Each structure stands twice: as C-alpha cells, then as structure tokens.
Amino acid sequence: MAAVLARVPDLQRALDVVRLLHGPAEQAPAWLAVVRETAAGGDHTAALALVEAMKHRPSRAEAAGVLAQVRARNGEHEQALALAETIPYPHARLLAWAMLAQAAADSGDHPWTLEFLDRAERVETGHDEWTAPAIPVLIRAAAAVGDRDRTLAWIERLEEVARRESAARTALRAGRDESRSKTSPLSDTPTLQPLLRTVAGVGEHERAKALLKSVRGKAPRAVATAAAARACAQYGDRVRALRLARSIEDPGHRAGALAAVADAAARAGDVDMINAVGELVTNGEQLVDAAAVLAVGEAWARVGAADRAEAWIRSIRTPALRHEARAVVAEGLAVAGAFERAEALARTLGDPELCAEVLAEVVSALALAGSTGQAEAVACSIQRSTWRARALAVVAVHAQDPDARRLVVPALERGDWPSVIEVLARVEPAAVAAIADESLLRAADRRR
C-alpha cells in the first residue's frame, strides 16, 4: 500500500496514511516501503527527507540502510558510503555494510566490494544476535569477489556464534557455565541453519560435512541436513543436494529436502533430476511425503512435460493429495505456457473456491505473457466474484488505457480497492488520493 502511494503526486497524503497504522512495528515497514519506492524512482532528495523525518530512531537507522542500498545498486557508491556512515547503531551499520558489499559484488565492482568489507570488519558489535544476520551476507560477498581468506574468517565467526548458542543451551539445561565454549557439539540453534546454508552456498562442502557431523541428536541433524540440501539445490549442486536429502532418516524433513531438489531441477530444466526425485518419492509413504509428491508433479508441469505431470497425478493413491496435486500441476502448466491445458485441468477441480484460485493463477500467467484478451476471457469465466474481480485487476496491470480503467471497476464495486491500487496509481492517481482521504476521514471518525 505505502509503496504504491509513494507514486502518487501528493507524497504527504501517503505519509498521512502510514501514520494511521498503530505504532512503530506497523508504521516502520510501510514507511520503509515509501522510502524504497521514492528512492527507486530517482528522487533521492525526497527519500532522504523521509528518512530524516522518521521519529523512531531504530527505524530511521534501518531506512538509512535501505536508501544506501538503493544508491549502491545504482552504482552511486560514494553516496551509499556516506549514508551508511550516518547510522548510529553498530549492528545496523554492520548490516548496512554487508548489504552494500553484496550490492557491489552483484554488479561486479570488486574494489567497492572490498571497501565495504573493510568497513564491516572495523565495526565492533557486542551481541551475537545483532551480529549474526549480517555475517551470511558478508560471506557471500567475500566469496563473490574471490576473497577466500575473508570468506573463511567470516565463516569461522558465524560458527563461533552457533557454538556459543549451543553451549549456552547445554549449560542452561545442565546448570553449569559453558557459554564461552567454541568446541561443544552443535544443536538446533537459530544460527545453525543460516551457517549451513551459507557454507554450502559458497561451496565449502567439507566444512559443511564437518558441521553436520558435529550436530547432536537425530532430530536436529535431520533439520540441519535438510538445510544443507536446500542450499546445495539453490546454488546449483543438485547431485550433492539429492545425496544429502536421501541421507535424512526423518520422513518429513526428507520430503522437504526432496521438494527443494525437485523445485531447483524444474528451474534448471533438469528432467533427469526430476525423474530421480520422483523415483525416490514413489517408494515413500505418500501422506508423509506430501511436499515432495506435490513438488515432483509441479516440476514436471513447469518444464512443460504435461503428459508426465498428469500421469504423476494419476499415480497418487491418496484422493486428497491427488486433488491438491491437480491444482499445483495446473498452476505449473500455466507458468510453463501450456495455458489451455492448465485451464482445462483447473476446471476439473471439484472445489469451487480452489478452482477459482487456480484459474486466477492461469489469468496471471496469461497476462504476464501478453495475452491480455485471453486472460480477460478466463477471468470473466471465474464463478467466485472475489477471485473474478482480483483476476481482472491483474489483467488491468498489464493492459493499456482505457482497458485498465474498465477492468478495475469490478474490484472497486466490491470495495476491494487494495487489489487494484497499483493500477489506480498508474492510470488514476486522483483515485488513490481520494482513497487516502477517505481512510484519513474514517480514522478521524473513529478517534471521535
């Protein structure tokens, strides 16, 4: 909502709506969205003024980091550096340096990546829970520019945080002080999964293997191994990911890991890997392995193998799971561009609400592909009025005037303006301003 209102000429009205939210916890994300959208639109002076206008100091520090990141992604590294230096809190400044290093690494600017990494190393923070969120970002940035020494140093620091957390938990249970230990076995702590994902993601597989061996207990080890498998799948090492997934004894966590491998294989178009995951899933208990069963069907659909996807649906023995698989396969076929097949499969769903939801996904895929006429036809055929209005609003996002104005009418008639506000901000800014005014009046009435 706030991000869309930031595109309305009267920015003050957008901020008035943000202020209607209750407390910093609700206001901060909305205000940040306005700052990000304003900066992304190129008005850095207005974005900086918004940051300085924030009353909540921690939120203001976060907003400065957001603005610095936008400028870094635009290649304006000097300005980004100056903004980050204004952040008063060490942990927020460390996170800002990490995000700036990642932005510079993503753009291939190695000198600036190293500069931001240097700045991060000079920040002293005294609390693990404040430091830990920034370290995985720093590790990825250092690895991206080939700085192995710094990569390993940050990995060591993150591992120390995980071991301190684990030792503290052990000490709490045993009633003794082990909170400083760096050699204790690992348990399922908040930092363990980010540690494993990051280590596997930068290719430090021997380190990941050693960490997994150090995890105590079957359940924590299953969680940790699944995290490592998902990371390997995400970063392209699908063979290793499949091997890790197969090693997990817990059926639920194994299913989740196999689902991640199937998803990664679909994104890469790796039909051999989809087939390998499917063979493993076929031998499992289908209700327990539901995530993997659905993922394999969706994977076949997303690579355009409609016959394989529908054959997979027919092989599912559990009726409820088979029904859900039909829905995810229809959505996958739509993503793959098999629109007619996706629509036909969606219409076989017996649940009217689910049918409407899946047809709305088909509409989204059609509109994204530029087939707005066909998308409108499918949207108009949706029986549930709420989904029909929202689907037409999606078509409106991709349509040209005056079609865009016409297509948002059903949503406005239902009072469902949040679903069409993006279109309104583009084609009818005055309408958004009117909505903002109405929201302000209603809030004033409630206060009376």
Quick: pLDDT tens for 37-88: 778 778 788 888 878 877 778 888 988 999 999 999 999 999 999 999 999 9
Instruction: Write down the pLDDT at residue 428.
Output: 62
Share in percent of the chain as helix, strand, coil (round to 5): 75, 0, 25
- The count of other CB atoms within 10 Å of the CB of residue 252 is 14
User: Dihedral through CA 72, CA 74, CA 78, CA 83, nearest 10?
Assistant: -50
- For the packed helices 319-336 and 290-302, what is the interaxial angle rounded to 10 degrees? 30
Residue 8: pLDDT above 50?
A: no
Least confident segment among 27-36, 267-276, 332-341, 423-432: 423-432
C-alpha pair distances (Å), 104 with each of 138, 293, 381 = 12, 40, 47
Instruction: Write down the pLDDT at residue 34.
Output: 74
Which residue in 95, 102, 96 sits closest to 84, CA to CA? 96
Better-predicted residue by pLDDT, 298 or 218 = 298
Instruction: Write down the pLDDT at residue 51.
Output: 83
Residue 401: pLDDT above 90?
A: no
Instruction: Write down the pLDDT at residue 254.
Output: 93
Least confident segment among 203-207, 216-220, 230-234, 364-368: 216-220
pLDDT band at 420 (very low <50, low <70, confident <90, very high): low
The phi and psi torsions of 189 (rounded to 5 degrees) equal -110, 165
Global pTM? 0.79
Q: Which strand (E) or helix (H) includes residue 86? A: none
Residue 244: pLDDT above 80?
A: yes
Residue 114: pLDDT above 90?
A: yes
pLDDT band at 360 (very low <50, low <70, confident <90, very high): very high
Which residues, including other chains, have CB under 8 Å from residue 84's CB and lie 6 or more apart?
A: 64, 65, 68, 93, 96, 97, 100, 119
Instruction: Write down the pLDDT at residue 9.
Output: 47
| CA–centroid distance for 292 within its chain | 20
Residue 178: pLDDT above 60?
A: no
Residue 104: pLDDT above 50?
A: yes
Which residue in 167, 190, 187 sits closest to 177, CA to CA? 167
| SS3 category, 302 | helix
Percent of the chain with pLDDT over 90: 58
C-alpha pair distances (Å), 67 with each of 10, 45, 246, 445 = 20, 11, 43, 35
Instruction: Write down the pLDDT at residue 4.
Output: 47
Residue 27: pLDDT above 70?
A: no
Could you give the count of Cα atoms lying within 13 Å of 87 in the half-sphere of its Cβ? 28
